Amino acid sequence: MNVREHKIVITGTMGAGKTTAIRQISDHPPLLTDVANTRRDESDKATTTAAFDFGELDLGDGEVLRIYGTPGQERFDFMWPIVARGALGIVFLLDLSREDPVADLERYFSAFGKQLGETPSVLALNKLDAVEAAPVALFQQYLEGRGLSWPIIPTDVREREHVLDLMEVVLSLNESLLTEES
């Protein structure tokens, strides 16, 4: 039987928490395609995702929702927009413990190109323990400077409810767009 796939994409740097987020809501343990991390300067992780991870929620009637995590290493950046094509939404997951999360976001924006304005998107700020307060206003200004108005949500993807909140905002964005279109 052909399975009809819908997808939501989570993208972010190595170690940002993409696989952890997927694990929270997938029916099955996420399918991982890890390889040895050849860029220990980017992240301390021993392995990292080579192609992509995905988790799955069975919607019944032959439909599934797949949550894809893009590969973290920059050498795979050509794949990011390909994975996100046709997605219901993209969650940009930022690791606030990294040295320059704004620069990280900039790299992802460059890679996704015009897809940024086409797919409902959310900016999720993860690893809040690393900072005194989530720099939401900073990212608000950054997005405004690029003509983007996205929800910016401090999160902890180790918590299932937080990941479900992110998914709810992606769905609500689509719902709003449907209303605006009709």
Partner 1 sequence: MSAKPSTIACVGLPGHERTMVRLVTEVEAQNLERPWRYGSPDRADVVFLDPAADQLDGHAVSPVTRPALVAVINADAPTATQTPLGRPALTLRRPIDSEAIRQTLQTVDQRAARHPAYTEGGAQEADKALSPAPLGLALHEAMVEGATRTSWRLTFTDNENHVLILHPGRDQLRGAVKRLGAEPLHGGATVTRARIASETANDDSAIGTDRSNTLYALLWGLGYRTEPALPLFGDPQRATIHLRFWPRIGELDLDREELRALTRLFRRSYHIGDAARATGLKEEALIALMNGAWLAGDLAVDASTPSDRSTRRPAAKVTPKLIDRIRNRMARAS
Binding site for partner 1 (CB under 8 A): 6, 25, 57-60, 63, 65, 86-89, 116-121, 128, 133-134, 136-137, 140, 147-154, 160-161, 164-165, 167-169, 171-181
DSSP E strand boundaries for 21-175: 34-36, 47-49, 53-60, 63-69, 89-95, 121-126, 152-154
Task: Pick between residue 16 and residue 116 the one whose CB is nearest to partner 1.
Answer: 116
Question: Where does residue 125 fall: left (phi above 0), alpha (psi -120 to 50 degrees), or beta otherwise?
Answer: beta
Of 10 and 173, CB closest to partner 1? 173
Q: Which two tokens stand for residue 137?
A: 């206003």
Q: Give the whole-angstrom CA distance, residue 60 versus residue 46.
A: 37
Name the minimum Å distance from CB 80 to partner 1: 17
Q: Nearer to partner 1 by C-beta: 50 or 173?
A: 173
Q: Which is nearer to partner 1, 46 or 178 (by Cβ)?
A: 178
The answer to whether the CB of 132 falls within 8 A of the CB of 159 is: no
For residue 133, the minimal CB distance to partner 1 (Å) is 5
